[in-house]
Amino acid sequence: MDDRFVKQETAIPGPRSLAILERRNKYVPRGISNNCHSFVKKAQGAVVEDVDGNFYIDFAGAIGTINVGHSHPKVVDAVQEQASQFIHTGFNVMMYESYIDLAEKLCELAPGNFAKKAAFFNSGAEAVENAVKIARKYTKRQGIISFTRGFHGRTLMTMTMTSKVKPYKFGFGPFAPEVYKAPYPYVYRRLDGMSEEQYSQMIIEQFEQFLLAEAAPETIAAVVMEPVQGEGGFIVPDIAFVRKVKEICTKYGILFVADEIQTGFARTGKYFAIDHFGVVPDLITISKSMGAGVPISGVIGRTDIMDAAETGEIGGTYSGSPLGCQAALAVLDIIESEKLNERAQMLGSRVIEKMKQLSMRFDCIGDIRGLGAMCAMEIVKDKQTKTPDKEGVAKIVKAAGERGLLLLSAGLYGNVVRLLMPITISEKQFEEGFQILEEAFAVVYHKSETIFLAGR
């Protein structure tokens, strides 16, 4: 009996998808990117079915949105129940208790032994925008520091704070003023012969110099940092760096904002990745897996800071919608009841183990890194020169997709394979996904794939 999860009824994309794709190309602008050219019919857990009856294993998790799995029954129930009661009154018009429940829970879970408040929005970018607004209002300063290779969204402010020029910024200027980009560690790409400790020290010194050369600390409202860079290529900074930045923030009255939009909600084995660094942020931005696919985002922070904005100065029509709040409450329940933080740690170890096995077969894997279940491989043309192999990664993603594995790239050079599968993925799905990933590598790097195909 065939007990594989991936099933291929047609070529990928299949005829139905191709027909819709034609309409997509006619009516939807090309500026919106599409990783996979098939259209989804159904998604459950870590498995996605397309409109042609093909089944995929999902290692992309809607870009880190599906930590609890697709259409988790508890999320579906919560959303259905909410929709049957009321869909939207507008929190500004008539409040609902789920918003308060969610704020209360998140304030309790967020690091920091002080009073906190939480405000909700719709997208990640909106959360970051609001964190910036709140920080400016509170500090009465304008400057914002973000980091090289950071990603914070596509609105004017968050695009300005984002680092990768193409495709995120090219042709979209002028950008918002008073945003400064500081160096962020990238230990894999340190200079030859430099130890990790020396490199760490160097980056800290660079950060201190940056404050002399580029941005006077007295003028800075907030430093916005991803505790692990997501779009930047799953780069984990060293603890000393994160702590030093926080120390400098404290010294100059700068707010430390942890952008946990991709790292949050159990992805790294904790509710918030910043907890790995022993740093307590002043504000935290959240979204993505918070709503398990229902759009919701938020800012959590110290009460005095969160209360800096006057009535009506933050919020929005759909901000913290009832559906989003209920989905997020269900997500928190799932993380706790299914022990997803512990599972993410275990999953992460298994992913790293698998990546190491792959790297024994494929020389192109230059670096393997991660925190919890936020793991990635950096693909290079040559391990000595570390020349990024962007084309190789694009081919791997395509080859994987054609074989039924949804995969994502990342990184400034586009040469990182990042894995964001649901933390709830089963062992069998995990194994099958990695088997396909290995085949994709074999196809791209022209090694024999006979044994793998025979094994399936």
Ligand X SMILES: Cc1ncc(COP(=O)(O)O)c(C=O)c1O
Tell me the CB-side half-sphere exposure of residue 27, using CA atoms within 13 A: 6
Supply the minimum distance, in Å, between the C-beta of residue 273 and ligand X.
Answer: 10
Place of tokens 């918030």: 272
Q: How many residues sit in the footprint of ligand X (CB under 6 A)? A: 15
Q: Does 120 contact ligand X by CB under 6 A?
A: no
Q: Does 274 contact ligand X by CB under 6 A?
A: no
DSSP string computed for 199-252 = HHHHHHHHHHHHHHHT--GGGEEEEEE-SSBTTTTSBPPPHHHHHHHHHHHHHH
Give me 258's structure tokens.
């942890």
Q: Which stretch binds ligand X (CB under 6 A): 121-129, 187-195, 316-324, 353-361?
A: 121-129
Measured between alpha carbons, how far is residue 201 from residues 196, 197, 206, 223, 371 in Å? 9, 6, 9, 19, 21
Question: Are the C-beta atoms of 40 and 401 separated by less than 8 Å?
Answer: no
Cα 251 versus chain centre, distance: 30
Contacts of 451 by beta carbon, 8 Å cutoff, 6+ apart: none
Supply the minimum distance, in Å, between the C-beta of residue 171 and ligand X.
Answer: 19
Handedness of CA 424, 429, 433, 434 (dihedral sign): positive
When binding is defined by CB under 6 A, the residue of 46, 261, 397, 442 that contacts ligand X is 261
Supply the minimum distance, in Å, between the C-beta of residue 193 and ligand X.
Answer: 32
Of 230 and 388, CB closest to ligand X: 230
Q: Does 131 contact ligand X by CB under 6 A?
A: no
Of 281 and 392, CB closest to ligand X: 281
Give me 371's structure tokens.
């925190």
Q: Does 259 contact ligand X by CB under 6 A?
A: yes
Give me 153's structure tokens.
């969204």
Q: Does 328 contact ligand X by CB under 6 A?
A: no
Q: Does 152 contact ligand X by CB under 6 A?
A: yes
Give me 106's structure tokens.
């998140």
Q: Does 267 contact ligand X by CB under 6 A?
A: no
Question: Are the C-beta atoms of 132 and 143 separated by less than 8 Å?
Answer: no
Of 13 and 230, CB closest to ligand X: 230
The radius of gyration computed from the CA coordinates of the chain, to the nearest angstrom, equals 22
Of 255 and 444, CB closest to ligand X: 255
Closest of 153, 183, 162 to residue 245, by C-alpha: 183
Q: Which stretch binds ligand X (CB under 6 A): 108-116, 148-156, 164-172, 206-214?
A: 148-156
Binding mask 42-81 vs ligand X (x if CB under 6 A, - otherwise)? ---------------------x------------------
Q: Does 153 contact ligand X by CB under 6 A?
A: yes
When binding is defined by CB under 6 A, the residue of 96, 99, 147, 151 that contacts ligand X is 151
Supply the minimum distance, in Å, between the C-beta of residue 77 and ligand X.
Answer: 24
Of 72 and 149, CB closest to ligand X: 149
Q: Does 226 contact ligand X by CB under 6 A?
A: yes
When binding is defined by CB under 6 A, the residue of 287, 321, 326, 424 that contacts ligand X is 287
Ranges of beta strands (E only) in 283-441 are 283-286, 297-302, 365-371, 374-379, 405-406, 408-410, 416-419
Q: Does 121 contact ligand X by CB under 6 A?
A: no
Closest of 446, 433, 359 to residue 403, by C-alpha: 433
Distance CA 317, CA 228 (A): 31
Q: What residues pair up with 417 in beta bridges, in sequence order?
A: 377, 409
Q: Does 128 contact ligand X by CB under 6 A?
A: yes
Q: Does 130 contact ligand X by CB under 6 A?
A: no
Supply the minimum distance, in Å, between the C-beta of residue 411 and ligand X.
Answer: 13
Supply the minimum distance, in Å, between the C-beta of residue 76 and ligand X.
Answer: 21
Can you give the binding site for ligand X, defined by CB under 6 A?
A: 63, 123-125, 128, 151-153, 226, 230-231, 259, 261-262, 287
